[in-house]
Amino acid sequence: MSQRPKVLFVCLGNICRSPLAEAAFRAEAERAGLDAEADSAGTGNWHVGDPPDPRAIEQARTQDIDIRAYKGRQVTEDDFRQFTHVFALDEANLEVLESIRPADGTAKLSLLMDVVPDKRGQPVADPYFGGPDGFVTTWDDVHEAARALVAQLQG
């Protein structure tokens, strides 16, 4: 690969799904020895500067991953120039990202679950309005995608 992968995961508020996706990818990249950068952001600005949802923090902790220091931020046009890949966690966020992508943006843009062959086009369910079980499901999805993405990037 000619360029070090720089991957951005984007959901709505950057406190549930995208921080977990970032954490899963970081863990899988480290396990596989892949030199990559990762970050997460939201299309909305409600949680800029906030830590992840306590339920997301707890779910990551069950995987021995500490995301308490993560801080919410809003995606910017510059992200499309700085990252090699931008992954939306659902179709609504993909549409927002497509609408703000600058003409000189070079990042590959797609749905995260598109990296999992039998889950192309599927969203990562938003666990925000549910209980802790939703965060387990979210983790399972983003972890599966992280494994597939790391394998793809190493390919």
- pLDDT tens for 65-108 read 999 999 999 999 999 999 999 999 999 999 999 999 999 999 99
Model-level pTM?
A: 0.97
Residue among 143, 42, 135, 15 at smallest CA distance from 96: 42
Residue 128 tokens read as: 């925000």
What's the maximum distance between 2 C-alpha atoms anywhere in the chain? Answer: 42
Residue 56 tokens read as: 């997301």
Domains, the chain, in order of start with CATH, read 6-154 (3.40.50.2300)
Q: What type of residue sits at position 146?
A: A
Active site residues: 11, 17, 126
Residue among 110, 102, 104 at smallest CA distance from 85: 110
Q: Cβ contacts of residue 56 below 8 Å, gap of 6+? A: 15, 16, 19, 20, 67, 135, 138
Residues 8 and 83: beta-carbon distance below 8 Å: yes
- pLDDT tens for 7-66 read 999 999 999 999 999 999 999 999 999 999 999 999 999 999 999 999 999 999 999 999
Q: What type of residue sits at position 155?
A: G
**Residues paired with residue 10 on neighbouring β-strands, in sequence order:** 41, 88
How many Cβ atoms are within 10 Å of 25's Cβ, its own excluded? Answer: 30
